[in-house]
Amino acid sequence: MAKSSVLGYPRIGADREWKKALEAFWAGKLEESEFHGQLQEIRLNHLRKQREKGIDCIPVNDFSYYDHVLDTAAMFGIIPKRFSYKGGVVPLSVYYGIARGTKDATASEMTKWFNTNYHYIVPELDGSLPAITENRPLIAYREAKEKLGIEGKPVIVGPLTFLKLSKGYKASETDTWLERLLPLYVRILQELASEGVQWVQIDEPILVTAISADDLRRLKTIYETFAASVPNLNIMLQTYFESVENYSDIVALPVQGIGLDFVHGLSGNLTSIKELGFPADKVLGAGVIDGRGIWKASLREKLDLLEEVAEFVTSDRLIVQTSCSLLHVPVTVNNEASLLTELKGALAFADEKLEEVILLTKAVSSGEAIIVDELEKCESALQALKRSGERNRNDVQQAVASISAQNPERHLPFSERHLIQQNKWQLPLFPTTTIGSFPQSAEVRKARQLWRKGEWTNEQYAGFIREQIDLWVKLQEEIGLDVLVHGEFERTDMVEFFGEKLAGFAFTQNGWVQSYGSRCVKPPIIFGDVAFNEAMTVEETKYAQSKTELPVKGMLTGPITIMNWSFVREDITREQIAYQLAYALRQEVEALEQAGIGMIQVDEPAVREGLPLKEQEQANYLAWAVKAFRMTTCTVQDTTQIHTHMCYCEFHDMIDSIEAMDADVISIETSRSHGELIQSFELNTYKLGIGLGVYDIHSPRIPRVEEMSNMIERVLRVLDPKLFWINPDCGLKTRGFEETIDSLRNMVKATQIARAKHQ
């Protein structure tokens, strides 16, 4: 009999109760004991739900107080020295300090979890002496068993993945660090085995990337050590997000189960099994339900796939499961009351995916006749969406086909545009600006809520937005910034705002997912052909420009970011979706320029996260991603300065593509990574305008003038001073009023020091 499982469940809760508890605790509104109690109840409710749905192998230790990679570092006492950790169980003050920063210590770097929109906290190994502080998987296992009678499946980030995602050590020290960590992992597993744990899920998603021969050797050492140390413990070596590299080596490891992604890694993993078989002594965790997408699975297609797999794996050695953790999708479709019928019928969030896993498991074990009604309902729902008029707009499809066949490029090269733009704008050395958004206070959020509820008229709300623009234009002038923004007070989210004004989008009421920490986002759903309806940003930007003699940037979100931060349709390629978005946004860029806005920022923070995990697919993705950006911006005049922004990704391997976007100015995060991106420019010449963010806006601390001055001086050793801008590393929407003012004042002071030194 096949069994069912999931690899992890969303932490946040259907009503974001997890987020609310965290933020109440950080604000001092919850005592620590009460905070622990609230999180335990959330955690237990998630386990109850999976049990009630009928999941056989329920994950434990997938729940986190912030991030599962940070949890792993804390479990091993890997704490940066600047947090003055004294050993033992890591206090919440230190744990959250690493994630968010403190008054005296900067937060650890945050970056994307593989190619998803989830961010993890990067462990810093330098200077740490790893030791077990507490056995978190054991604690989670005991809780599930004692409180609910659930025989849980502890989940642990594997040693190789943990090492490869960490920083603070040289490549030559990898084996040394493995020697330090491996005994700790062994002890964790031995304690789990002694407790009677049946299965442990060890996540090694790094195995879907290209790893070296040395890493394969390390992998073999790790799992041979585990096999010798805990011979009676069943280990499910779990991979996800793509097909595994080195399939033969991996399935030969001495583990009891191998988990493979048959959604995003379908072609590669299925080919490997067909050509090389699957070991008769191992269980296959078949990830056939998409843990990252929101679309209802075609149960018929999934059963056909499982039939192919059944040629190599008997049902008693099969676990039907999600392709990855359900961390990446909203909790339930049941709370959505306003979606189009044909759209809602084709959706499946976390809870619905549990049901899909159960249905497929039943069919594999007892024959598909047992779910024949569900099969028919599923196919009917999917066909209804396919026939929708929103998915069949010939006008959009023909226009996009026409412009995407052209080579999008500016009239003049950057070297000539730059001189023209300098002559027009007369900007000082090291121009200062911000990334776009200013603090969205409780007053701003309340005003938007009143307007959305119909308690405020459009005129009242527009008047309120103008008041906020007036305030912040004046403040920016007083602070001494050179290029201003209107502040984006009318926008809830940098993707949602545009999606609400474009055709082809839909929006959930409760479709929240975790992005980082307590930061939850509600991704739009691109379910139809994307089309421009009317100007989206002109009114507020033009108003702000009328209030100052200084330039005001128009602010747009770029096509790749809108796509990567949305749930997208699966019936056409992502490249086609990107070009539809680019065509729509081009019309907005042209509207801004026609309204007299001469600087336009098209943000693309999510380009890097869409990069395929397979190296052989990356060049093609970057080519059409760059093309989509240029399609958006190529029609403006030579005097119009195009800006873009990227944040919280590793860019060293795509500097050439960033330059190929041909933006006049790009701003990139560098403060949270403690300036490491600068090393990329020490090795690569960059010839366009660039601003490297000089302070971390995700931390509540106010940066000192001295630390920003040091960052600026380091940058100026590798970048052309005439092309260098100074800015924060991201938007300021989530920051408080006073800290924003003080931080920007310090940034301007640091700029003035640099100007005096380099004039």
For every residue of 85-98, DSSP letters joined together read: --SSSPPHHHHHHH
Helix (H) or strand (E) holding 194: helix 174-195
**Amino acid 678: pLDDT:** 65
CA dihedral 730, 731, 737, 743 (to 10 degrees): 30
Assess if residue 338 is contained within a domain: no
- Is 746 in contact with 704 (CB distance < 8 Å)? yes
Active site residues: 698
**Amino acid 492: pLDDT:** 83
Q: Is 500 annotated as a binding residue?
A: no
Q: What is the mean pLDDT of residues 706-717?
A: 89
149 token code pair: 């009678």
Q: Is 704 annotated as a binding residue?
A: no
**Amino acid 412: pLDDT:** 97
**Amino acid 60: pLDDT:** 98
Angstrom distance (rounded) from CA 16 to CA 420: 50
**Amino acid 675: pLDDT:** 56
Percentage of the chain beyond pLDDT 70 is: 97
pLDDT band (50, 70, 90) for residue 714: confident
Angstrom distance (rounded) from CA 50 to CA 351: 8
Helix (H) or strand (E) holding 245: none
Least confident of 141-155, 433-447, 681-695: 681-695
Assess if residue 346 is contained within a domain: no
CA distances to 89, 243, 524, 604 from 13, rounded to whole Å, are 26, 30, 19, 29
pLDDT band (50, 70, 90) for residue 680: low
Phi-psi sector, 89: left (phi>0), alpha (psi -120 to 50), beta = beta
**Enclosing domain of residue 735:** 414-758
Q: Is 669 annotated as a binding residue?
A: yes
pLDDT in tens, 68-84: 999 999 999 999 999 99
pLDDT band (50, 70, 90) for residue 85: very high
Secondary structure class of 374 (helix, strand, coil): helix
Q: What is the mean pLDDT of residues 115-132?
A: 94
Q: Is 676 annotated as a binding residue?
A: no
The CA-to-CA distance between both ends of the chain, in Å, stands at 76
Residues 6 or more apart in contact with residue 614 via CB below 8 angstroms: 210, 242
pLDDT in tens, 233-268: 999 999 999 999 999 999 999 999 999 999 999 999
Reply yes or no on whether the pLDDT at 684 is more than 70: no
Q: Is 466 annotated as a binding residue?
A: no
Angstrom distance (rounded) from CA 179 to CA 403: 56
- Is 167 in contact with 124 (CB distance < 8 Å)? yes
Assess if residue 87 is contained within a domain: yes
Assess if residue 6 is contained within a domain: no
Secondary structure class of 515 (helix, strand, coil): strand
Angstrom distance (rounded) from CA 283 to CA 289: 18
Pick the last residue of a domain from 234, 263, 298.
234
Q: Per 3-state DSSP, what percentage of the chain is helix, strand, and coil (rounded to 5)?
A: 50, 15, 40
Q: Which of 447, 442, 445 lies closest to 457 in space, CA to CA?
A: 447
**Residue 552 per-residue DSSP state:** B
**Amino acid 56: pLDDT:** 98
pLDDT band (50, 70, 90) for residue 687: confident
**Choice between 385 and 735, residue whose per-residue pLDDT is larger:** 385
Least confident of 187-191, 370-374, 471-475, 711-715: 711-715
Dump the DSSP string for 608-645.
Answer: GGGS-SSHHHHHHHHHHHHHHHHHHHTTS-TTSEEEEE
- The total domain count for the chain is 2
Phi, psi for 51 (deg, rounded to 5): -65, -45
Angstrom distance (rounded) from CA 587 to CA 533: 10
H-helix segments, 522-664: 538-545, 559-564, 574-594, 615-633, 655-660
pLDDT in tens, 321-344: 999 999 999 999 999 999 999 999
Percentage of the chain beyond pLDDT 90 is: 86
**Amino acid 510: pLDDT:** 95
pTM of the model: 0.90
**Residue 551 per-residue DSSP state:** -
**Amino acid 417: pLDDT:** 96
Q: Is 425 annotated as a binding residue?
A: no
**Residue 251 per-residue DSSP state:** H
pLDDT band (50, 70, 90) for residue 528: very high
H-helix segments, 299-367: 299-310, 341-344, 350-366
673 token code pair: 């990574």
The rounded Cα 616 to chain-centroid distance in angstroms is: 22
Pick the last residue of a domain from 234, 261, 295.
234
- Is 475 in contact with 546 (CB distance < 8 Å)? no
Residues 6 or more apart in contact with residue 485 via CB below 8 angstroms: 433, 434, 435, 436, 437, 438, 476, 544, 552, 553, 555
Length of the chain: 759
Q: Is 603 annotated as a binding residue?
A: yes
Reply yes or no on whether the pLDDT at 598 is more than 80: yes
Reply yes or no on whether the pLDDT at 144 is more than 60: yes
195 token code pair: 């407790």
**Amino acid 463: pLDDT:** 96
651 token code pair: 């860019």
- How wide is the angle at C-alpha 293 spanned by C-alphas 287 and 298, nearest 5°? 65
**Amino acid 652: pLDDT:** 67
Reply yes or no on whether the pLDDT at 673 is more than 60: no
Q: What is the mean pLDDT of residues 688-707?
A: 85
Q: Which of 699, 554, 581, 696 lies closest to 636 in space, CA to CA?
A: 554
CA dihedral 697, 700, 703, 707 (to 10 degrees): -80
- Is 21 in contact with 37 (CB distance < 8 Å)? no
Helix (H) or strand (E) holding 421: helix 414-425
CA distances to 11, 58, 175, 225, 729 from 179, rounded to whole Å, are 32, 31, 6, 11, 37
Average pLDDT, the chain: 94
- Is 154 in contact with 58 (CB distance < 8 Å)? no
HEC readout, 60-73: ECCCCCCCHHHHHH
The domain that holds 488 is classified in CATH as 3.20.20.210
Assess if residue 330 is contained within a domain: no
Q: Is 730 annotated as a binding residue?
A: yes
Least confident of 104-108, 213-217, 557-561, 748-752: 104-108
Angstrom distance (rounded) from CA 448 to CA 493: 12
Assess if residue 741 is contained within a domain: yes
pLDDT in tens, 180-221: 999 999 999 999 999 999 999 999 999 999 999 999 999 999
Assess if residue 353 is contained within a domain: no
Q: What is the mean pLDDT of residues 448-472?
A: 95
**Choice between 720 and 751, residue whose per-residue pLDDT is larger:** 751
Pick the last residue of a domain from 205, 234, 263.
234
The rounded Cα 130 to chain-centroid distance in angstroms is: 28
- Is 562 in contact with 498 (CB distance < 8 Å)? yes
Secondary structure class of 262 (helix, strand, coil): coil
Assess if residue 373 is contained within a domain: no
**Choice between 360 and 678, residue whose per-residue pLDDT is larger:** 360
**Amino acid 665: pLDDT:** 95
**Residue 122 per-residue DSSP state:** P
